């Protein structure tokens, strides 16, 4: 039996992370691996309360550094209450966003010094990080159009970041690609501009090659 693994999905708005998280969980289950899904901000009761503060309201509700601190307050609860207990049981954990989102959104997008964010991460979580990170990448305009359609269909008010200016989203995309380039052993970039099945196929191939599990 393969020990529990921690997989994260990252990327800008509208990349289809939620759909691919569910598909990977199902595929792992078909191989006999128990996988739980979770998300950030959130993933634990107190962390979900913080999520509501971050993803709704006025665009300028928080400074980028305040967002870093809120994210890490939520992340501490998420890791200690949800992720680490699951990994300790031998389960796999698949999260829709994790620490790379803070580096991309508040660091590269919002202008917080990446070294400051790294220091907060170290103080909060030490060396804890995912075993594999899948970054779903697509052009900014396409991603925002998809995200807008989803929010409209679900009548969601979690649109604070989607409403930020276009330059922010371009910096965000560049940030995720830099994270992937800096840590190629952990990260894999997936072209999310294609149809859902093609994206899924690439994700399954990466999981097999990086983690040694055949999924289909």
Please give the model's pTM, rounded to 2 decimal places: 0.94
Q: Is residue 199 part of a domain?
A: yes
Domain count, the chain: 1
Q: Is residue 123 part of a domain?
A: yes
36-45, 74-83, 135-144, 183-192: the lowest-pLDDT one:
135-144
Could you list the residue range(s) of the whole structural domain that residue 43 is in? 6-211
Q: Shortest CA distance to 23 belongs to which of 75, 96, 85?
A: 96
Give the list of residues 6+ apart from residue 117 with CB closer than 8 angstroms, or none: 68, 102, 103, 106, 107
pLDDT tens for 169-206 read 999 999 999 999 999 999 999 999 999 999 999 999 99
Q: Is residue 216 part of a domain?
A: no
Q: How confident is the model at residue 45 (pLDDT cuts 50, 70, 90)?
A: very high
CATH number at residue 175: 3.40.50.300
Q: Is residue 1 part of a domain?
A: no
Q: Shortest CA distance to 177 belongs to which of 4, 9, 11, 2?
A: 11
């Amino acid at each position: 039996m393969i020990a529990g693994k921690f997989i994260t999905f990252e990327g800008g708005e509208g990349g289809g992370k939620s759909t691919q998280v569910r598909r990977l969980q199902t595929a792992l289950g078909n191989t006999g691996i128990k996988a739980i899904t979770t998300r950030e901000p959130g993933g634990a009761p107190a962390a979900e309360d913080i999520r509501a503060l971050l993803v709704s309201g006025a665009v300028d509700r928080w400074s980028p550094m305040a967002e870093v601190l809120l994210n890490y307050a939520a992340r501490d609860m998420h890791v200690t209450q949800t992720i680490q207990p699951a990994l300790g049981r031998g389960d796999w954990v698949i999260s829709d966003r994790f620490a790379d989102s803070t580096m991309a959104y508040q660091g590269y997008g919002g202008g917080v010094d990446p070294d400051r964010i790294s220091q907060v991460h170290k103080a909060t979580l030490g060396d804890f990080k995912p075993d594999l990170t899948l970054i779903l990448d697509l052009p900014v305009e396409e991603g925002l159009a998809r995200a807008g359609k989803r929010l409209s269909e679900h009548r969601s008010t979690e649109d604070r970041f989607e409403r930020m200016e276009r330059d922010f989203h371009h910096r965000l995309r560049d940030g995720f690609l830099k994270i992937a380039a800096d840590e190629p052993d952990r990260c894999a970039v997936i072209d999310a501009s294609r149809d859902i099945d093609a994206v899924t196929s690439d994700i399954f191939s990466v999981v097999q090659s990086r983690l040694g599990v055949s999924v289909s």
